[in-house]
Structure 1
Amino acid sequence: MAITEWHEDSECRASIIGQLTRDTVPALWTQLQHWQPQIPQYEVCLKQIERVDSAGMAMLIHLLQHAKSQNCHIMLSFMPSQLNTLFKLSNIDALFAEHIQVTER
């Protein structure tokens, strides 16, 4: 079974490492529901995501909403092409454009 990690790199940046799929999302979301950002903007680096599916996309949407409810704006960096494709196919890419930091992969 794949393991996915939330690794806090600094007080304003974390990385998601591994697969973000229906098999890994429940355990990760259980952990992240209790996360309480204390700053107005936070970066979540997706560079080390090996695979993402629609469950992973949904979890990221919930993470953005969770942070927003605590007055924190999340920027997603190093967006995997799979996730970009899922956003476009779901017709929500425009809704999340303000959360995507343009970076070279």
Structure 2
Amino acid sequence: MTHPQWHIAADDRITLSGALDRLTVPDLWSYIQQWAPQSGGMELSLERVDRIDSAGMVLLIHLIEHAKKQNCHIMLSFVPQQLTMLFKLSNAESLLADHIK
């Protein structure tokens, strides 16, 4: 099972790439819902994300919740400034405070 935007770099590291927007999120979310974390903690690198909108932000929030249900804690790394601004504008900072490196 593979997806062009979801790259498992190691047992505890995943990289997302490309755009995370209203056009790409539905397909990516369908894929992610089938993902089962293999460890209790994962780093999710956003270093290769080119663009992110509110749909991408919601995807990340749901991904964190999906992982929590499977006893996995996700830490976001290389969080783009655009996403940080979306968190602030949406008052979602408190939801993600423990998930940003």
Asked if these proteins are the same fold (TM beyond 0.5), I'd say yes
Q: Which has the higher helix share?
A: 2
Alignment of 1:63 with 2:63, yes or no, is yes
CA distance in 2 between partners of 1:51 and 1:95 (Å): 21
Question: 2:83 matched to which residue of 1?
Answer: 83
Identity %: 53
Q: Give 5+ residue unaligned stretches, structure 2.
A: none
1:26-77 deviations in Å (ceiling 9; x for gaps): 1111110000002110000000100000000000000000000000000000
Q: TM-score, normalised by structure 2?
A: 0.95
Shift of 1:4: 5.5
Q: TM-score, normalised by structure 1?
A: 0.91
Alignment of 1:45 with 2:45, yes or no, is yes
Shift of 1:95: 2.1
Amino acid at match of 1:85: M
CA distance in 2 between partners of 1:23 and 1:83 (Å): 17
CA distance in 1 between partners of 2:16 and 2:32 (Å): 11
Q: CA RMSD in A?
A: 1.2
CA distance in 2 between partners of 1:56 and 1:99 (Å): 16
